[in-house]
Chains A and B, each alone.
Chain A
Amino acid sequence: MLKGEKIMKIFKYTAVICLTFILTSMMALQAQNVEFDKKNFSDKKGLKQALSNIKEGDGYFERGKGMYVDALNFYLKANEFNPKNALLNYKVGMCYSVLDKEKSLNYLKIAEDLNPHCAPDLYFQLGKAYHQNHQFEMAIEKYKAYKNKLTPKEYNSVAPSLNKKISECEVGIELVKKPAKVFIDNLGTSINTMYPEYCPIINADESMMIFTSRRESTTGGKRDPQDGKFYEDILIADRAGEGWKVTNPGKPLNSDLHDATVGLSPDGQTLYVYKGENGGDLYECKLKGTEWGKPDRMSKSINTKFHESSASLGPDGRTLYFVSDREDGVGGRDIYITYLDDKGKWGEPINLKELNTIYDEEAVFIHPDGRTLYFSSKGHKTMGGFDIFKSVYENGKWSEPENLGYPINTADDDVFFSISASGQHAYMSSARAGGVGEQDIFLVTFLLEKPLSTNSEDNLIAWRTEPVSETVIENTVDVMTASLTLLKGRVLDESTKEPVEAQIILTDNTTGEQLATFTSNSATGKYLVSLPSGKNYGIAVNADGYLFHSENFDIPNAAAYQEIEKDIYLKKVEVGKEIVLRNIFFDFNKATLRPESKSELERLAQLMKDNPTLEIEISGHTDNIGSAAYNKTLSEQRAKSVVDYLIGVGISSGRMTYVGYGFDKPIASNATDEGRQLNRRTEFKITKK
């Protein structure tokens, strides 16, 4: 053998020895899987007990997720005896997936470390666990590892769901990178208990919240044998100072079994309830005074033999969004819309195809602005499970659903979400950290993106030592702002100040269309009307035995969110009573009635027809701009125009007089625009009953 060859051979041997040593060392470093085998344990009694625990645990485990909690107790005991068995760690990890995401991941990681082949779907489950823990890059890695292990046939059967999970992780990476600016606060012990609270639904002005709880005080006091928890009850929370006062309305709203709320009208007077009967149906329930009536099953056009869940009534009181998994849908549970017709019947539901996906949509909530829809979906760009999305109806179509972002949404199911009229607050339920126990209700405060102001300096002019400074305010970004006016208050009797149950009719003065009808609460007189921006609203308040009251709100498109609190005092039909007709409009400096006045004039005509002995004086009033003589003449001509209209629709001229007061009888100061506007008015006074 040549010298060179000999050296090479020695080198090769040395290399093989070194490699063997390195590999052996590495294997020693990797954890060893320890089977539950006699040869591995001297404690035979302990082994027997551990095997028995595994067998018991398997009995539950094989029955599915619902039994994981029971299986876990046995598995943990066995795991205590032998913590180094890959399969057992896998099973413990699986059981924890319904209880504690972090622990679930930890046990699955141990299983992988001990033996990555211990279960055929270990990588998939690891992917899910990383996914749930928002470790999206690792989740993608494991999902892909799982994918690589599959045969082509196996892959074809799971490809859609597996690829969806990978894309959910990609969405998650993006959303977590740019979290939504929100505060998420637990509503505290005035709402939350150690038992589950969920599905909070807020009314428009956040004065009232309805939610579902499975607490000890449930009506009937019984537990559901399925899960051992108390039956659901619907609870009502009224705002009390900084906190809430919670009451259980009891029967008939709540029964001895499950009662869950799924929707509330913006004025808080109508509640939607889900009951599991007939495959899952929706019920409607009205507040009468202080009592909630019996839930009535909604019409057959809404409820089918399929599953109907979740309903939300628009601010007009005539548009209902609900969820159903009926056959004609896009896929799974879908969102439908239905309109109340003039006869008070819900029309044929329409599938909102622009918003629905082949996956489930759930928990629909229409904002009091009537055009922003919030819903949960497992489709669209979700980061995992149900995420909450919003879509805005503009120019005849729904915008592309926008994920509300992390941390509102998580990789878990984020379902119930209800937002205040102002758009500043939302209410959601979650089992996230910081809770009182199980699922809790949380308040989400949206922080309007507030640009910062920075300063730079430059020596623009060379001979000056003093630099020129420049202030830069960052560009504002689109923020969630509601574009509506909430009008709320009480309807009261003018003299007794007692609450009156009155009908509040909302009219679009421009088209004359009657938009909505509401009723004030008989016990409190409270009312709440949502007026989306962009219309000239006429509001008429009617109650038997009273003169109607009218208000006008001309709200431009650009108007920001505002709340107007106004108590309305109704006057009895008595001689001498005066009513301001706020929805009678004239052309500028003329006595010609504008078309927008039609609804109000019709109301006045109807009053005269309903009370055939009534005689009235119509008076015109102006502000103090211009001469007294000019204003007097103008106001008189305007009053005459109203009388002429009434004569034209058949009211006897003998029952009416007209007078122009000019600016002699102001009801507000003429020093301000607002005051002058109030002074420019048409009134009628009862002169004979």
Chain B
Amino acid sequence: MRYAISILIVMGFVLNMQAQVDTVRVPVDDPQKAERLYNEGTVLFESGAFKDALKKFDEAISMKSDFAKAYYNRGIVKMELNNNDGAMLDFNKVIELEPTANAYFMRGQIKYKANDLDGAKADYTSALGVDNMHAQSYYYRGSVFFDEKDYDAAIEDYKKAVVAKKDYAYAYNDMGSCYKMKEDYEEALRCYGEAVKINPKLAFAYNNAGTVYRKLGKYDEAILEYSKAVSADPEYYIAYNNRGLAKFEKGDYEGAIADFSKAIEKKSDYAYAFNNRGSAKYKIDNYEGALADFDKAITINSSYGSAYLNRGNTKEMLRDLAGACEDWKKASELGLKTADTYAKQMCK
């Protein structure tokens, strides 16, 4: 599920690209019915009529069983229709008939989606064996390495991706994230900088840079980056929340509260922002206000350990030790060791 929506978005992009370039010219008097059906299917796909397109590709393949392009496009349609197993068979067939980098890449995407990381990596590698400038295969293989926490290997792939596609802003962003994970914050900031140089509207790259500055304790720089993120995308609630945290860590609790409120305004069920706003209110001794925010965070996400821990701390300040103990115990059950310590120290 984690990758599902995003993969589909990217696939949609790939599919459109393939559908536009792969129509075959059919002479008017030419009796090549399979090719004609293929072209009709491609047009139907472009118009979003996936099921009708599927029928056309089925017919084309039934007439010409070694029609590789028809298998490829049918695979793409099946993916659109959430039939990944069927799509996989079609891509297998394409690879059997005439292996292309795109076919390997698309099969790799299906495997990645199914969390078959080794299978996906192997297909991206095969795609690169066919076309060593296939930028997307480098990019997604890098992503698999990132998931496997092999950040050095991921960086190598992202570097190749930006060689193959110089304006590959996403690859720069993700490369920055690898450096961030390696705690090489200087390189991380350089990569995020490259990403926004290519695409100044890339809100999340500013956001990521902001978080690196926070890690460095440079809160003013962090606030500046988060501000750029929200000006690139005023609906980007994550950056409001993070800017609030930079202010919180800086000790500007009022400013933090304003930012968390802004994040909540953009996303009314944003449990993190409620929890963080509660924490800022706690800091300025507004315990009643903090309690209301933690309550809300827990209502949104009933297994939100941090909110239970913080609510326990708040209840203690409100002289409700029994309530505090209940919350610390719950937070402890949810895996927060700190809460377990409090429960043992304070609750009989």
**Contacting residue for B309 out of A448, A453, A458, A467, CB 8 A:** A453
Given contacts A451-B338, A453-B336, A457-B272, contact A463 B10 (CB under 8 A): yes
Contact with A along B1-32 (1 / 0, CB 8 A): 01101110110000000000000000000000
Q: Do B276 and A454 touch across chains, with their CB atoms under 8 A apart? A: yes
Of B71-79, B80-88, B240-248, the one touching chain A: B240-248
Q: What is the CA–CA distance of A457 and B226 in the complex, to the nearest angstrom? A: 12
> Is B35 in the interface zone, CB < 8 Å from A?
no
Q: Which residue of chain A has its CB nearest to the CB of B208?
A: A458
Q: Which residues of A contact B310 (CB under 8 A)?
A: 452-453
Closest chain A residue, CB of each to CB of B331: A453
A436-458: contact bitstring with B at CB < 8 Å (1 yes, 0 no)? Answer: 00000000000110111111111
Which interface class (under 10, 10 to 19, 20 to 34, 35 or more) fits A? 20 to 34
- Check B5 against A460 for contact (C-beta < 8 Å): no
- Which chain A positions have C-beta within 8 A of B272? 455-457, 469
Q: When chains A and B are docked, how far (Å) is the Cα of A473 from the Cα of B245?
A: 12
* Beta-carbon contacts under 8 Å, A447-487 to B: 447-448, 450-467, 469, 471-473
Q: Are A450 and B342 in contact (CB under 8 A)?
A: yes
Q: Which chain A residues in 231-266 approach chain B with CB under 8 Å?
A: none
Pick the residue among B143, B207, B238, B305 that contacts A461 (CB under 8 A).
B143
Which partner residue on chain B sits nearest A452 by CB separation? Answer: B279
Closest residue on chain B to residue A422 by CB atoms = B345
CB distance B317 to A461 under 8 Å? no
Residues of chain A contacted by B57 (CB below 8 angstroms): none
For residue B177, CB closer than 8 A to chain A, the reply is: yes
- Contact between chains at A463 and B6 (CB < 8 Å): yes
Contact B174 A462, beta carbon cutoff 8 Å = yes
The prevalent SS among residues of A at the interface is loop
Contacts of B205 in A (CB 8 A): 462
- Measured CA separation A448–B347 after assembly (Å): 13
Interface size bracket, B side = 35 or more
Interface membership of B39, Cβ < 8 A: no
User: Within 8 Å of chain A (Cβ to Cβ): is B185?
Assistant: no
Complex interface: chain A residues within 8 A of B91 (CB) = none
Q: A450-B342, A452-B279 are in contact. Are A466 and B306 (CB under 8 A)?
A: no
Which residues from chain A contact B7 at a C-beta distance below 8 Å? 463
Residues of B within 8 A of A460 (CB): 146, 174, 177, 180-181, 208
Smallest CB separation, A409 vs chain B (Å): 20
Chain A residues whose C-beta falls within 8 Å of the C-beta of B10 in the assembled complex? 463
Q: Is the pair B173, A462 in contact by a Cβ cutoff of 8 Å?
A: yes
Q: What residue in chain B is nearest A465 (Cβ atoms)? A: B6
Contacting residues, chain B, for A453 (C-beta < 8 A)? 275, 279, 305-306, 309-310, 336, 338
- A-chain residues with CB within 8 Å of residue B204 when the two chains form the complex: 458-459, 462, 467
Asked if A455 and B275 sit within 8 Å, CB to CB, the answer is yes
* B211 at the binding interface (Cβ < 8 Å): yes
Kindly provide the distance from the CB of B108 to the nearest chain A CB, expressed in whole angstroms. 14
Contact B242 A452 (CB under 8 A): no
Across the interface, which residues of A come within 8 angstroms of B238, CB to CB?
457-459, 467
Can you name the residue of chain B whose Cβ is closest to the Cβ of A459?
B204
Chain B residues positioned under 8 Å from A393 (CB to CB):
none
Chain A contacts with B in 261-276, Cβ cutoff 8 A: none
5 extra A-B contacts, CB within 8 A, seeds A463-B6, A466-B6? A183-B319, A453-B275, A458-B238, A463-B139, A464-B3
Q: List 15 A-B contacts (CB under 8 A).
A: A448-B342, A452-B283, A453-B309, A456-B242, A456-B245, A457-B272, A460-B177, A461-B146, A461-B177, A462-B169, A462-B170, A463-B140, A464-B2, A464-B3, A467-B204
**Which 10 A-B pairs have CB atoms at the shortest separation, nearest pair first?**
A459-B204, A453-B306, A462-B170, A460-B177, A455-B272, A452-B279, A462-B173, A450-B313, A464-B6, A457-B238
